[in-house]
A and B are shown apart, each in its own frame.
Chain A
Amino acid sequence: MRIGVFVCHCGSNIEGTVDTAEVSRIASDYPEVAFATDTMYACSEPGQDGIIEAIGEHKLDGVVVASCTPRMHEATFRNTLERAGLNPYMFEMANIREHVSWIGKDREANTNKAADLVRMAVEKLRRNRPLTPKEFDINRRVLVIGGGVAGIQAALDCADAGLEVIMVERESTIGGKMAKLDKTFPTVDCSSCILGPRMVEVAQHPNITLHAYSEVDGVSGYVGNFSVKIKKKARYVDWNKCTGCGECVEKCPSRKAPNTFDELIGPGRAINIPFPQAIPKKATINADYCIRLTKGKCGACEKVCPAGAIDFDQQDEIISEEVGAVVAATGYDLFDWTVYEEYGGGRYPDVITSLQYERLLSASGPTGGHVKRPSDGKEPKNVVFIQCVGSRDKSVDRPYCSGFCCMYTAKQAILTKDHIPDSTSYVFYMDIRAPGKLYDEFTRRAMEEYGAQYIRGRVGMVYPDGKGNLTVRGADTLLGKQVEIQADLVVLAVGVESAKNSPQLAEKLRISYDKYGFFMEGHPKLKPCETNTAGVYLAGACQGPKDIPASVAQGSAAASKVIGLFSKKKLKSDPQTALVDIKRCIGCGKCVLTCPFGAIKETDFRGQPKAEVIETVCQGCGICSSTCPQGAIQLRHFTDNQILAEVEAICRF
């Protein structure tokens, strides 16, 4: 084999701490290296042209580029090789930027390490064989997980483009957090008035199938051909018969059930329709609180239901759907505000969360839009807002900014004044973050036109003053003194955390997630809605805190990615898959059991059981090859021999 080695400067990124000329000089002595050089930017057009030229001039059969991470440019250089007429898999990359130049300053040590990494790549490349990808068909259906505003946007955009959409929503209605909001900033238009029509569109769109009150149970397969198991949770109501009339809710005697849509401040029932505009507008029984299901008595709903839709024998049901792409739009959850004991959340009824306050403001909320204190139903005159409850606070492991609390607090201060003209709002803030279009103007309006009193500082303590009100004691860091405010109501602007069970969903989708449970994008700047798993895209706050415009934008972006993916006639599979040596295989089937992708099956070969890899399903993870005791199953381009050659290259001394 004739190998060419190209050592990239990456400007000063690598050249700054690695002697690239020396690395290429050392590399020219490695076995089978016919040509070695350093180059300014290997990935640039002249850089790639230089590689193509050298391939022709030196009759190279394989290329090693020592530069940055293969995640960034492996595909680039594979294309370069293809353009030069070589098999794109006769290429290896040595990462001397992330693995060398960026992590150490000792130029001599770095140069030696870079040379070692290049030697490993050369030794691996010497054992590479040309590979050819297989082509496979795409199932042009898309799964959208989560029916919040981001998921709705993604689903509608895909459906309008003619794709068949399967939407799975955990709750019994779509709409997500936005449906719970009264008004939206900075336009102060009615949330359900703008979201409602989109929800109806989802229900009515011929291309969208909605599975509400359902969860993704398992995902297998690969880009273009995912197989999804969806658990339709038992709702104890036949939704085909239920008309959403609400008779049953009226008659239900179980009133202790939590009303999750009203954030636990409204009265709940064991059988429930979340809100008047719910999609689908169907009743669901909460099995934990239903007297019939827990004690075997009652059954009032069954008696009154004019449609005969109540079905106490319903069971969870698992259905399968085949899709080609997945959009995760699972949104967020609120930080558990009771962690801040000094604020009294959970102890004092008049300390509530911003989302609970939102329900008090909403005309469809438990108070019909009248702001009333939970303790005695009185109209509050002094409302204190405390910001950054569970945001930007290392002590509760939430160092990140939740992004939209400054804005919704300003909105709520404005709305409070609208509802109760003689009220005063106090906002304790750390600093105001209002970078969106018309956002800063909006917060200024809250202060200047609506007279919200903004106090820069944290609240130390909230305690009852004994006369039915609360005393809020905090610091005013601009005045440099302690302040005390008598409050009728305290609203905690709780921060954002990842939706419950999102790590588990990420594992099912085989995508990465950060330490807070938010899903990881493919690249923080250039691939904001892709994941590192092909065919899985992100929309909305499941990727990180986002407000409505950003969620909607990302929903559309994810949809455009799906549409782009599906516009291809066929997809190509990565040929770096596992391969069974039939002579070595003893048919024990251990690989079949361990393969997380179901890519290996048992076949019969002349009467003997043997393993067989389904190439388009294999993801090249290598679990099978480390399981196989006799090394009969090998990962192409990561064979035991190649790994051993790399180890020996680096352990020569």
Chain B
Amino acid sequence: MMLDQLKETIKTALPELDFVMGWTTGYDPLHATPLYMYEPDDVDQLIWGPLNVHNLAVHLPALRHKKVGIVVKGCDSRSVVELLQENLIDRENVVIFGAPCNGVVDMTKIRKAVPDAHFARSVETADNSLTITTDKDTHTLSLAEVMADKCTRCRFPNAVEADHFVGEKRIPAVETDPYADLESFESQGFAERRDFWMAEMDRCIRCYACRNACPLCVCRDHCVAQSREPHWVSQRDGVRDKFMFQVIHAIHMAGRCTECGECERACPMDIPVLLLKRKLGNVIHDLFDYDAGLDAEARPPLLAFKLEEDSIKEKDW
């Protein structure tokens, strides 16, 4: 069994490490929570499956001085690669445990499908389905039905970089990123798109969960959204200020964002903020033929100074 194999691998590596990050069952069987494994006994609590939604790479920059292990899905591994690229973590201090991912669930979709999901008693996961037993009922959902959108277009179900890879590699859902969601959104008129965003951003409560969950939001105490020095964004709760923050966030992520979707997953108001990042990701892809988080040696195009870009012809020579 793959999980047992993964546990064994972690146990073998653990003596060399301060600890290893993974997932375990949280406050109810439907919600996983990060697990810190210091001792071999801790490893027994590890779980693997569609409930492991969190991207644990977010913790790595703060743990730079420790030698830690991290269990990753394919998308998480891209965040790790991006952090390595940007010199925010040290390769020799991180041990990556990769496993093939079959997609993770979107809790919003589950809540819609199972109205009493809050009272989950037990959750059984199979390869392509999920059975939730609540106080009243038992629901069997197909994984495809409740899978996060990002997983339906996943190109990298296996870790792109790993020290230990456990299990058999999976075949990706798609080969190239289909930007169909973006195209259909952009086919609307300006007014519709503006109204859409104004309505969405109006619900924002400025909790910054999107930022805190983002593995590449590394400004820590000096986030542009809260800094008074300089005072770029006011503390007002108007839709303009909230939107302004999202736009700044998206632009900071252009060419760096691996579209792991943590921002959108963490949003308590279900605001589709990943769409903004996907738009910029698409632009970067078209302009620079670059995908973030695939090669630890590559340099994000917006963090490079180049006199003449290959695809942006400013001069005719």
At the interface, yes or no: A627 with Cβ under 8 Å from chain B? yes
The chain A residue sitting closest to B83, CB to CB, is: A588
Given A593-B299, A631-B230, A588:B87 Cβ within 8 A: yes
Residues of A within 8 A of B315 (CB): 503
Q: Is B27 in the interface zone, CB < 8 Å from A?
A: no
B235 to chain A, nearest CB (A): 15
Among residues of A, the one whose C-beta sits closest to the C-beta of B248 is A629
Q: Mark B64-92, 1 if CB is under 8 A from A, else 0.
A: 01000000000000000000001110000
User: Taking CB as reference atom, which chain B residue is nearest A602?
Assistant: B87
Give the residues from 81 to 133 in chain B that come closer than 8 angstroms, CB to CB, to chain A.
Answer: 86-88
In the assembled complex, the CB of B69 is this many whole angstroms from the nearest CB of chain A, namely 22
- Check B227 for interface membership: any CB of A closer than 8 A: yes
Do A640 and B304 touch across chains, with their CB atoms under 8 A apart?
no
Bound together, the chains give a CA A589 to CA B300 distance in angstroms of 13
User: Is A300 at the interface (CB under 8 A from chain B)?
Assistant: no
For A586, A596, A629, the residue with the greatest tally of chain B CB atoms inside 10 Å of its CB is A629
Contact across chains for A594 and B220 when beta carbons are under 8 A apart: no
A629 contacts B87, C-beta separation under 8 Å: no
Q: Which residue of A lies closest to B224 (CB)?
A: A631
- Assess A586 versus B218: contact at CB under 8 Å? Given A507-B307, A594-B305, A627-B303: yes
Contact B232 A640 (CB under 8 A): yes
CB distance A588 to B88 under 8 Å? yes
A631 CA to B248 CA, complexed, in Å: 13
Residues of B within 8 A of A315 (CB): none
A620-653 CB contacts (< 8 Å) to partner B: 623, 627, 629-632, 639-641, 644
CB A446 to nearest CB in B, in angstroms, measures 38
Asked whether B180 is an interface residue with its Cβ less than 8 Å from the other chain, the reply is no
Contact partner of A631 (CB less than 8 A), chosen from B61, B87, B227, is B227
Q: Is the CB of B86 within 8 A of A590?
A: yes
Q: Tell me how far the C-beta of B36 lies from the nearest C-beta in chain A, rounded to whole angstroms.
A: 23
The complex places the Cα of A458 from the Cα of B305 at a distance, in Å, of 48
Quick check: is A451 within 8 A (CB to CB) of the other chain?
A: no
Cα–Cα, bound, A584→B87 (Å): 16
Residues in chain B near residue A482, CB distance under 8 A: none
CB-nearest residue of chain A to B317: A503
Q: Tell me whether B303 and A632 are in contact (CB under 8 A).
A: no
The verdict on B219 contacting chain A, using a C-beta distance below 8 Å, is yes
Q: Of the candidates A504, A594, A596, A630, which one forms a contact with B222 in the assembled complex, judged by CB atoms under 8 Å apart? A: A630
Query: Which residues from A are CB-within-8-Å of B88?
Result: 586, 588
- If over half of B's interface residues share one DSSP class (helix, strand or loop), that class is named, otherwise mixed; here it is loop
Cα A2 to Cα B65 in complex, Å, equals: 49
Whether a CB of chain B sits under 8 angstroms from the CB of A587 is yes
Q: Of B65, B303, B307, which one neighbours A590 at CB under 8 angstroms?
A: B303
CB of A595 within 8 Å of the partner chain: yes
Identify the closest chain A residue to B299 (Cβ): A593
Q: Quick one: given A507-B307, A593-B303, A627-B303, are A640 and B230 in contact (CB under 8 Å)?
A: yes
Bound complex: CA of A594 vs CA of B224, how far in Å? 21
Contact A596 B305 (CB under 8 A): yes
Q: Does B150 contact A (CB under 8 A)?
A: no
- By size class, the interface of chain A is 20 to 34
Task: Judge if A258 is at the interface, Cβ distance under 8 Å.
Answer: no
By the criterion CB–CB under 8 Å, are A644 and B222 in contact?
no
From B88, which residue of chain A is reached at the shortest CB distance? A588
B304 lies within 8 A of A594 (CB): yes
Chain B residues 190-236 with CB under 8 Å of chain A are 218-220, 222-224, 227, 229-232
Check if A630 sits within 8 Å of B219, measured CB to CB.
yes
Asked if B317 and A504 sit within 8 Å, CB to CB, the answer is: yes
Q: Is A609 an interface residue (CB 8 A)?
A: yes
Q: Mark B27-38, 1 if CB is under 8 A from A, else 0.
A: 000000000000
The answer, yes or no, to whether B252 is at the interface (CB within 8 Å) is yes
Cα A517 to Cα B229 in complex, Å, equals: 43
Q: Is the CB of B218 within 8 A of A588?
A: yes
Note all chain A residues with C-beta closer than 8 A to B87. Answer: 587-589, 609
The distance in angstroms between the C-alpha atoms of A269 and B143, with both chains bound, is: 74
Q: Which residues of A contact B223 (CB under 8 A)?
A: 630
Given contacts A593-B305, A629-B252, contact A641 B220 (CB under 8 A): no
Rounded to whole angstroms, the CA-CA distance of A126 and B234 in the bound complex is 21
Known A-B contacts A588-B88, A594-B303, A609-B87; the reply to A632 vs B222 at CB < 8 A is yes
Specify which chain B residues have a CB less than 8 angstroms from the CB of A627 in the assembled complex. Answer: 303
Contact of A641 with B229 in the complex, beta carbons under 8 Å: yes
Q: B-facing mask of A574-607, CB < 8 A → 1, else 0?
A: 0000000000101111100111100000000001
Residues facing B in A45-82 (CB within 8 A) are none
Q: A593-B299, A593-B304 are in contact. Are A629 and B230 (CB under 8 A)?
A: no
| Min distance, Cβ B146 to any Cβ of chain A, angstroms | 35
Look across to chain A and name the residue whose beta carbon is closest to the beta carbon of B315. Answer: A503
- Chain B residues within 8 Å of A632, by CB: 222
**Inter-chain contacts of B61 with A (CB < 8 A):** 586
Cβ of B310 to closest chain A Cβ, rounded Å:
15
Residues on A with C-beta less than 8 A from B231 are: 644
Contact B232 A629 (CB under 8 A): no
Most chain B C-beta atoms within 10 Å of own C-beta, residue among A503, A588, A632, A644 = A588
A595 to chain B, nearest CB (A): 7
**Chain A, 501-514, contact with B by CB distance < 8 Å: what is the 0/1 string?**
00110010000000
CB distance from B212 to the nearest CB of A (A): 15
Q: Within 8 Å CB of A587, what residues of B? A: 87
Asked whether, in the complex, the Cβ of B303 is within 8 Å of the Cβ of A630, the reply is no
- B218, A629: Cβ atoms closer than 8 Å: yes
Whether the Cβ atoms of B230 and A639 lie closer than 8 Å is yes
| Closest A-B pairs by Cβ, 5 of them | A630-B219, A640-B230, A630-B222, A641-B230, A594-B305
Can you list 17 A-B pairs, Cβ within 8 angstroms, ordered by A? A503-B315, A507-B307, A584-B222, A589-B86, A593-B303, A594-B303, A594-B305, A607-B65, A630-B218, A630-B219, A630-B220, A630-B222, A630-B223, A639-B230, A640-B232, A641-B229, A641-B230
* Interface residues, chain B, with chain A CB atoms under 8 Å away: 61, 65, 86-88, 218-220, 222-224, 227, 229-232, 252, 299, 303-305, 307, 315, 317
Chain A residues near B (Cβ < 8 Å): 503-504, 507, 517, 584, 586-590, 593-596, 607, 609, 623, 627, 629-632, 639-641, 644
Beyond A586-B88, A586-B220, 6 extra complex contacts between A and B, CB < 8 Å = A586-B61, A586-B218, A595-B305, A627-B303, A639-B230, A641-B229
